Structure 1
Amino acid sequence: MNGSAQQETPDRDGADRDGADRPELVIVSLYPRDMNIYGDRGNVLSLSRRARAHGYDPVVVEVNPGDALPERVDIVIGGGGQDSGQGRVALDLQARADEFRGLATAGTPMLMICGLYQLFGHRFVTHTGDELTGIGVLDVETRGGTERMIGNIVLESPEFGEIIGYENHSGNTTLGPGSQPLGRVVQGAGNNPSDGVEGARTGNVLGSYLHGSLLPKNPAISDFLIKTAAERRYGSFRSELGAAEEIPETVARARASAKRRPR
């Protein structure tokens, strides 16, 4: 890792580590300077806290344009941004496309939100006709539209159950045969106004337009990322959480409140 990349140990809420060695999970926060809108940094904070609750030691490494990836990558999280920020990171992402395609092929779990969801596809054509080339990890294409899709959204997912988030985008994304949708839209718009699905998944890489942040209200997705990463690195996943803690009461209330709110 070069000198400009930032490595941080997330806040442990005052909890002592009591001297015990805990297995590490390295979480790459991708382009947080440019792609961090609508609370997307909350995904990294929520994932770190959830990993700690399971009994793992999260090590967050921020990777901005020009920074090298760390030697070990267990999870990658990326967010959304304005078109200007998206343009700044697109060239850098192209330069490291083979690295991310290799990580994806090897099964590294990733979550890409909004702008990076689009750039992890084949291409994003803006509403003015400019084209940003993606890296093709997800089999999706996006075109900027004139209709803004905004408001609380509810999905049904065979793997993650009910997913609740907040969408705010004008991109119209369509899926190719190499990606499956993250979920079926119950309330909201999703990838576009007509297909009735939201997000995409190829292997262990997830893409979605859901902000809010997504992970605090959807611990099942955090658990997928953590479990997959632990199994890849350590050969098994062991959790210190009991079944009663799978959806904390505060999370359940936040989900119920968001689901009730009109768009």
Structure 2
Amino acid sequence: MAKTIDVMSLYPKDMNIYGDSGNVLTVTRRLALYGYEPRVTAYNQGDPWPEHIDMVLGGGGQDTGQKKIIDDFFTRADALAALAESGTPMLMICGMYQLFGEYFETVDGTRLDGIGVIPAHTIGRDVRMIGNLVEHSDEFGDVIGYENHSGQTFLRAGVGVRPLGRVDQEGRGNNGEDHTEGARVHNVIGTYMHGSLLPKNPAIADFLIRTAAENRYGEFGTADQTDAQAAELARLDKVAAEARAVAAGRPR
């Protein structure tokens, strides 16, 4: 019998503006191809909290989407922080990346608190950073995605958070100033990379999967994987490599 991995999709109704649900589809497909049984729970405001969570995936959203979820989000802040501190793998894209930080200061100076899982803050600017982006990550190699944000995020030094990667271009990445992009703390990844991110970056998808399996079962194994599943996984990795090459060559 295949081992179950419980995946929570966080606020998919309101935080999925740039196709970030593709990250959920990628994780569930790859889990199945590795021989696991993915069980996905879509958590939206007012829903019961899942009994078991092995992985959390969150996406981006407009200001209206953030306003819809924010009250419920703060009622779940302690639970999300506890999951993060216990090593649960998480991927937070754009708007959810910002909300996982310490605060967001809007263009007009209004301060909106985050839940502080990621030691970082975001300042709203008039200039929007947009386009295909390649960042260099020590852990995952080159990460390729599409950024589209006007908030500039600054990581807090000396508290255990590090960038997901570094960008070569001026005026891109977290804040357009320090050539960083994204954040890594515990097993939480925050990033501005849409695309969806995971179809083009299987190394990150597999990190989330491997970590979830190791946390729950003590190991990541493929004993239940069939030859056909292995072959399909190899095909998807080839398609991802082709998509990466095309995206990397397009500035917008």
Q: Report Cα offsets for 1:31-73 as digits up to 9, x if no partner.
A: 0011001111111001111111111111110000111221100
2:160 aligned with 1:175:
no
2:167 corresponds to: 185
- Give the SS at the match of 2:88: coil
Q: Tell me: higher relative CO, structure 1 or 2? Use CA pairs within 8 A at least 6 residues apart.
A: 2
1:16 corresponds to: none
2:25 corresponds to: 45
2:190 corresponds to: 207
2:251 corresponds to: 262
Counterpart residue type for residue 60 of structure 1: V
Question: How big is the alpha-carbon RMSD for the aligned residues of Structure 1 and Structure 2?
Answer: 1.5
- Give the SS at the match of 2:168: strand
Counterpart residue type for residue 163 of structure 2: P
Asked if the contact 1:219/1:246 (under 8 Å) is kept, the reply is no
User: Among 93, 111, 134, which residue is 1:113 paired with?
Assistant: 93
Identity of aligned residues (%): 56
Asked if the contact 2:169/2:179 (under 8 Å) is kept, the reply is no
Asked if the contact 1:181/1:201 (under 8 Å) is kept, the reply is yes
TM-score (norm 2): 0.92
TM-score (norm 1): 0.89
Asked if the contact 1:44/1:77 (under 8 Å) is kept, the reply is yes
Runs of 4+ in 1 over 4 A off after TM superposition: none
Moved more, 38-47 or 181-190: 181-190
1:133 corresponds to: 113
- Give the SS at the match of 1:248: helix
In structure 2, C-alpha distance between the alignment counterparts of 1:238 and 1:203, rounded to whole Å: 22
User: Among 207, 212, 237, which residue is 1:229 paired with?
Assistant: 212
Q: Report Cα offsets for 1:14-39 as digits up to 9, x if no partner.
A: xxxxxxx2111111000001100111
1:197 corresponds to: 180
Counterpart residue type for residue 66 of structure 1: G
Q: Which runs of 5 or more residues in structure 1 are unaligned?
A: 1-20
Asked if the contact 1:87/1:132 (under 8 Å) is kept, the reply is no
Q: Report Cα offsets for 1:103-134 as digits up to 9, x if no partner.
A: 01111000000000000000112223232211
In the TM superposition, what is the alpha-carbon distance from 1:246 to its structure 2 partner?
8.6
In structure 1, C-alpha distance between the alignment counterparts of 2:166 and 2:236, rounded to whole Å: 22
1:84 corresponds to: 64
Q: Report Cα offsets for 1:171-211 as digits up to 9, x if no partner.
A: 00000133100001134710011110100011101100000
User: Among 212, 216, 237, which residue is 1:248 paired with?
Assistant: 237
Q: Which runs of 5 or more residues in structure 2 are unaligned?
A: none
User: Among 34, 59, 66, which residue is 1:54 paired with?
Assistant: 34
In structure 1, C-alpha distance between the alignment counterparts of 2:18 and 2:242, rounded to whole Å: 20
